[in-house]
A = this chain, B = another copy of it.
Amino acid sequence: MFQGGLLVVISAPSGTGKGTLIKRLQEKNSNIKLSVSATTRKPREGEVEGQSYFFKTPDEFKKMIENDELIEWVEYCDNFYGTPKKYIEETIRQGFDVFLELEVEGAQKIKSKYPDSVLLFILPPSFEELRRRIEGRNTEAPEMILKRMDKARKEVTFINNYDYVIVNDDISKAVDDISSILVAEKLRVKRNNDILKVLGI
């Protein structure tokens, strides 16, 4: 059977609980590795180089683009974010499932470069609940909350470009849902073209 890892892209509006969801998934499934992005954004308090992000100067980031070291990159709120190619391809070859947290544009770039990637979209139980979650953080100014809600509304219109949709209402169920998707995807015939040879058929 399929022995490699999956390249999984996970997109979610801000406030959907994506961070906690991925943390719980990793606790349950040691085969999941989270890709670390490169960014020119300044580190926030508590963020660790090489774990949260690879923090780069704009010049260093440009050089990574020129050397084709990024499988996708995007400019967002005056900062650059990119996905380093080498780490991902090596980790998949080792059989790990690599998760990328990406915006809707980045997700599409991955799908066109890696058609076998699996695209997940996480939704909040409702938009009202999303607003409550964003407001509940108390870390955002009111105009920022409106901006985030607006962005979320735009993002969900891209849902048809994704393979699976998970509603993060009950987090344990959402974790189980994603675990089932990982199992099922590895059983797809298209990923097991050599199965008859392997079984001596």
Instruction: Kindly list chain B residues whose C-beta atoms are within 8 Å of the C-beta of A124.
Output: 199
Interface centre among A1, A187, A192 (most CB of B within 10 A): A187
Beta-carbon contact of B167 and A1 below 8 Å: yes
Q: Name the residue of chain B whose CB is nearest to the CB of A120.
A: B187
Instruction: Kindly list chain B residues whose C-beta atoms are within 8 Å of the C-beta of A121.
Output: 189
Instruction: Kindly list chain B residues whose C-beta atoms are within 8 Å of the C-beta of A165.
Output: 1, 187-189, 192, 195
Copies of this polypeptide in the complex: 2
The B-contacting residues of A in range 162-200, CB under 8 angstroms, are: 162-167, 176-177, 179-181, 183-185, 187-189, 192, 195-196, 199-200
Interface presence of A27 (CB below 8 A):
no
Instruction: Kindly list chain B residues whose C-beta atoms are within 8 Å of the C-beta of A184.
Output: 164, 177, 180-181, 183-185
Beta-carbon contact of B159 and A199 below 8 Å: no
Interface presence of A151 (CB below 8 A):
no
Beta-carbon contact of A163 and B177 below 8 Å: no
Q: Name the residue of chain B whose CB is nearest to the CB of A164.
A: B187
